[in-house]
Structure formats: C-alpha cells, structure tokens
Amino acid sequence: MGDLSALVSAHRGAFVALSVGSTVVTVGLVALAPWVMLRLPADHFVRPRQDGGALRRAARVAVGVVLLLLGAAMLVLPGQGVLTMLVGVSLLGLPIERAVARFMLRRPGVARTLNRIRTRAGKPPFVFGDADDATPGSPAGSSRR
C-alpha cells in the first residue's frame, strides 16, 4: 500500500489530470448518447456503412483510439471504462462491429429504451432487420427472455 501512495504522491498532477479527463469523457458520453441516437437514421443498423472518405475515416480511427486508451485508463480511474472502450472500438470500423451492435441490441430493454427516446422526440423507431425479427423495431431474440 505504501508503494501505491508513494506513486500517487510522486505523480499527483498526472492522476488529477487523468481523473478529470475521465470524468469529462464520461459526462460527455452520457450527454451525447441521446443526441446521437436521434441523429441516426431509422435504418442505421441494417444499411451498409458509408465511410465518407479517407479524412473522415482517419478522424474516426483517431478518436476511436483515443477513447480506447481513455477507457483503458478509466478501468483504474473514475469513469465508465468499459463503455468508453466500446464506443472507441465502434469508431474503429472493425468488421465485427455490426455483430457486437446486434449482440448489445438483443439485451432486454436496450432496443426498447433506444426506441422510446426516439419516439418521444418524434422520430421513427430503429429497424434492426435480423431475419428472425417478427416486427420492425424489435431486436432479434427480444421475445426470448
């Protein structure tokens, strides 16, 4: 325990900066999540992704890497490390991204919550489009609880 307290004392400024940074990222993610969900088109999860050019892709990857690193730091600092890392990975544009999104949308209540936010704002619900969906806007497997 003495080693940890000596480390914190020796690098107090860095620990404070990382703690403040992780708190700002957490609050930012929580504040921006509904805004992003409202800006996405209803068919976002079923249509092919359009990268929008090399500069845009490079910016997405850079932000994704920064969020991934901040999320890793938040695993030991205050903040939502796992959530920040998931957002970072989603920005990297990896081939597994759609599978991870579908997996998360199959969790009970996730799609329902997203669509409730959209409905309250007067936007159409998301269409998830898996082959075994019974109705548009409901995630596959949501009837299996």
3-class DSSP string for 78-107: CCCHHHHHHHHHHHHCCCCHHHHHHHHHCC
Q: What is the pLDDT of residue 53?
A: 83
E-only strand ranges, the chain? none
Q: What is the pLDDT of residue 44?
A: 79
Say what percent of the chain tops pLDDT 90. Answer: 6
Each residue's pLDDT tens digit, 65-77? 998 888 888 788 7
Q: Is the pLDDT of residue 136 over 50?
A: no
Q: Is the pLDDT of residue 141 over 70?
A: no
Average pLDDT, the chain: 77
C-alpha–C-alpha distance, residues 77 and 23, integer Å: 9
Burial group, residue 76, by CB count within 10 angstroms (0-12, 13-18, 19+): exposed
C-alpha–C-alpha distance, residues 43 and 56, integer Å: 21
Q: What is the pLDDT of residue 129?
A: 67
Burial group, residue 17, by CB count within 10 angstroms (0-12, 13-18, 19+): exposed
Each residue's pLDDT tens digit, 72-120? 887 887 767 777 787 788 788 777 777 777 787 777 788 888 888 889 9
Task: Enumerate the domain spans of the chain.
Answer: 2-120
Longest dimension (CA), the chain: 59
What is the pLDDT confidence band of residue 12, given thresholds at 50, 70 and 90?
confident
* pLDDT (average), residues 128-143: 48
Q: Under a CB-based contact definition with an 8 Å cutoff, are residues 44 and 115 in contact?
A: no
